[in-house]
Every structure is written in structure tokens, then in C-alpha cells.
Structure 1
Amino acid sequence: MKRIMCAALLTAALTTGAGVFAQEQQTTGESTLSPKFGIKGGVNLTNMFVDDVSDENMKVGFNAGFFAKLPVARGFSIQPELLYTSKGAKLTYDNIIEGEGEYRFNLNYIELPVLAVINVAKNFNLHVGPYVSYLAEANIKDLDDDGDMDEIADLNTDNFNRWDYGLVGGLGIDISNFTIGARYNYGLKEIGKSGSLSGQLTKDSRNSAVSLYIGIGF
């Protein structure tokens, strides 16, 4: 379902681009196209793609940072961003040795998406593009069935691939200098290092995130 959603967003952005260049990128108070710089933040609903594990669970995180909207033509802009974003998942376990519980993967990235923003109406736009991110912090906690939570000291940033990259597709609504929107991030890089404990626990999974945000430009 997530892959279908991502493909639909990417396809919609690309197929509508040809007919929307008559739409405006400036606000009602501006007479010419002008770049904007702003701040944004919101909520992440994250998970991990795992090839042979079906009990991964969504984790709630956050995103915050800066963006620039650089007009290229009427109806088309390039939007680079610099974000601090929290990803990961909850993976449940149930075995004789450990009992029942869940691992909580908390992965915090410094992320740089570069998006093409295409207006399909004066205040409504689609955006699509790549992202690259760097793992700044990682901690994995073990919550057992008694409610006790312990940090797994053997797993930290050195046990995960520091670099991640993938695709972004989404939509936004711009009202004057305010913007709200939703996106889907589809990771293409494995999270855990191959042959390591992190690789075994994450089963060669990749990041997956739905981001909801609000922002203001200046």
C-alpha cells in the first residue's frame, strides 16, 4: 500500500506538470515572483519496510527545520530543505528466551530533500524529488511485557548505515506566507549494516515515513 501511494504521488506530480505553468507562485500581495525562506515543523508517522517480518508497527516522531522556495517559472519552483527528522519503528517479539515485548528503533536524521514544486491550482501544489540524510543519533530500547524499558547499549549509530537516501512525493496548500502539507518518504537504502546485529534485527529494512507539517515563509 505504501509503495502504491508513493508511486501515485510521483506519477501525479509528473503528469500534471505540463499544464500548470499558468498558475501563480507568488502571494496576492506580490506583483513578481520572489524567493521565500522559512521554517517548518510537524509530525512523522514512520515504519520500516521488512522483507520477511510482518509485525512491524508505526512509530510517531517529528520533523523540524528550514526551507527555501526558489521560483523558476510561474507555477514551478525548486524547494530545498534542511530538516532534523525522527524515524524508526516498533518491532514486537515473542520467544521462549526473551518472552514478549517490543524493540523501539529511534533513528534521528539530518535530512536534505530537494523538491520540484508544481502548482495545480493557485494555492495547491504537488512536490516530488529525492532526499539524502545522515544519521545523527540512534538508540534502540527494549520494552518487555512487564513495562520495563532498557536501552540496548550494543546498538548505536556505529551499528547502522550513516547515510540514507530515497524519494519524496507529496502535496501542499499555500495560503499567503503559510504552508501546510503531507508527504511520503520512500527509503532506498538499508538501515542496518549487513552482517551486523542491527542488520539481523531490522531484516535489511528501509525507512518509510508519512510527514505532516506546517510552515511559514518570509
Structure 2
Amino acid sequence: MKQLLIINRRSFGTIVFLEEEMTQMKMMRRLTALVVAASIATAVTAQEQRTSNEFSRTPKLGIRGGLNLSNLYVQEVGDDNVKPGVNAGLFAKLPIARGVSIQPEVNYSMKGAQINYNNVLFGSGKYRYNLNYVETPILAVFNVARNFNIHVGPYAGFLVSAKVKNVDESGNVNGVTELNKNNFNSIDYGAVGGIGFDIENVTLGARYNYGLREVGKEGRASDLTNNAKNSVLSFYIGFGF
């Protein structure tokens, strides 16, 4: 009887030890699950924080400005007659879905071209066409990667001033008085495409404006421009609020 009791006590002690070990294992599994869950939650929160700015659905207003490299083209766009100018304006970025926005703008844009000449009668020099517009592009903006977007859309422009200057080989500027704003079409329109890099509230970008309407009216302006249209490569920096 004593031996049986001792055996039973030993068996009971083994059972108690096994139960305690199983309890500890269950606690370890629960602790591990909690750690994994916390790690996943932390990673998701960090990812949301990293992408919150670029995928934010909060409307944004801002100002922008930069450099224009403009030209006039007939059939093919070239860079032989590029004229530098400036662009400046206001924009609103209106999110419509995650990573997609509509961006209307109102911009002042200096366009035109510099056309070189060299002949016996007038010598050498260049005609400088200064065509200044107020434009309203309506762009669809797509965030395709972190801090990077592409934007496309149409634009319409209104000609606010026009002047053609004759710059001779000595650098003397003479106004061509027979051409003025009335000789050019008041309305311009075309397509816009570009890319942008968003860093917090600062945007750096480049875009191309492809005009679809001839700039000169029929007559002297149309003859001199050879029925050309606007072509502009723009670089800009913007600040959102």
C-alpha cells in the first residue's frame, strides 16, 4: 500500500508538472500572437503615415511659377527658334479618389519664338514674337508612385498682348509696328502633359503644352508665322497651402 501510494504521488506530481508546462506553453503562444499582431499594426500605421501626404484627400490651393521654353511649329516641333519666358499662376488640387485628383489652374504664360533671318536687303538678325496668354488648364493628376505623379488634360488660353520685335545683328531692337494683338487669334487651345514630384507642400514639375490652333490670323501675321502653332516646354515649382 505504501509503495502504491508513493507511485500515485509521483504520478500526481508528474501530472501537475505537465499541466503547468502546458499552461506556460499556452501563455507563450498567446504572447507571441500579441507580439505579431502589434508588429503588423505598427507596420500598417507606419505605411499609412508614409503615404498620407501623397494620397491625402484634403483639397489644396497653391501658387506656382517657372520657366517657359517656347516655340512656334508648323508640322513638326523643333528647338531651333526657342524663346525663353516665364509662367506663373494659381492652382487648386481637388482629390476625387485615392491617388487621383482634378487640378484646375489659372496661369500667365509668355510664349512665342525667335526666328533668325539672313539676307542681302536686311542683313542678319531675328524676329522675336512675344505672345502672352492667360491660360486655364484642367488637369487629371495620377499619383503613380511615392511622391511622383503624371498629369494630363486640355488647356484654353486668351491672348492678352502681342508684340513682334526685329533685333538686328548689332542687338538693336526695333518694333514691328504693322503687327500687334489684332493680327493674332485671341483664343488658343491645346493639350497638356507632364510629371510632378511632391515633397510635403512643395511641387517640382515639367510639362509640355501642344497648341492646336494657329496663332496668326489670315493676312500678314499668318504669312510671317507660316500658319504656326504654339509649342511650350515648362519647368516650374509650386507651393501648396
Both structures adopt the same fold (TM-score exceeding 0.5): yes
1:138 and 2:159 aligned: no
Answer whether contact 2:66 2:236 (CA < 8 A) is retained: yes
- AA aligned to 1:211 is S
Deviation at 1:52, TM superposition (A): 9.3
Name the residue aligned to 1:201: 224
Deviation at 1:147, TM superposition (A): 2.1
CA distance in 2, matches of 1:55, 1:155: 24
1:122 and 2:146 aligned: yes
Structure 1: which 5+ runs fail to align? Answer: 1-23
- AA aligned to 1:197 is R
Evaluate the alpha carbon distance shift between residue 121 and residue 180 of structure 1 in structure 2; reply closer, same or farther with a 3 A threshold.
same
Secondary structure at the residue paired with 1:193?
A: coil
Secondary structure at the residue paired with 1:154?
A: coil
Name the residue aligned to 2:110: 86
CA distance in 2, matches of 1:25, 1:117: 16
Deviation at 1:56, TM superposition (A): 4.6
Q: 2:211 aligns with which of 187, 203, 213?
A: 187
In the TM superposition, what are the counterparts of 1:74-113 in structure 2 within 5 Å? 74-113=98-137
How far does the alpha carbon of each residue in 1:138-161 deviate from its partner, in whole angstroms, 9 at most, with x for none? 111001123211011111110000
Secondary structure at the residue paired with 1:199?
A: helix
Larger RCO, structures 1/2 (Cα 8 Å, 6+ apart): 1
CA distance in 1, matches of 2:174, 2:74: 24
Q: 1:33 aligns with which of 48, 57, 66?
A: 57
Evaluate the alpha carbon distance shift between residue 115 and residue 100 of structure 1 in structure 2; reply closer, same or farther with a 3 A threshold.
same
CA distance in 1, matches of 2:136, 2:157: 6
How far does the alpha carbon of each residue in 1:19-73 deviate from its partner, in whole angstroms, 9 at most, with x for none? xxxxx98527x9x511000000000011110349989511000000100000000
CA distance in 2, matches of 1:40, 1:112: 13
CA distance in 2, matches of 1:99, 1:113: 41
**Equivalenced residues, count:** 193
CA distance in 1, matches of 2:79, 2:199: 40
Question: Normalising by the residue count of structure 2, what TM-score does the alignment of the two structures yield?
Answer: 0.76
Off by >4 Å, runs of 4+ in structure 1: 51-56
Answer whether contact 2:77 2:231 (CA < 8 A) is retained: no
Name the residue aligned to 1:211: 234
Answer whether contact 1:53 1:203 (CA < 8 A) is retained: no
More helix by share: 2
Answer whether contact 2:71 2:79 (CA < 8 A) is retained: no
CA distance in 2, matches of 1:178, 1:145: 42
Name the residue aligned to 1:21: none
Tell me the percent identity.
54
Evaluate the alpha carbon distance shift between residue 71 and residue 25 of structure 1 in structure 2; reply closer, same or farther with a 3 A threshold.
farther
Answer whether contact 1:25 1:74 (CA < 8 A) is retained: no
Deviation at 1:97, TM superposition (A): 2.3
Report the RMSD for the aligned CA atoms in angstroms: 2.2
Answer whether contact 1:117 1:125 (CA < 8 A) is retained: yes
- When Rg is computed on C-alpha atoms for both structures, the one with the higher figure is 2
CA distance in 1, matches of 2:75, 2:100: 37
More strand by share: 1
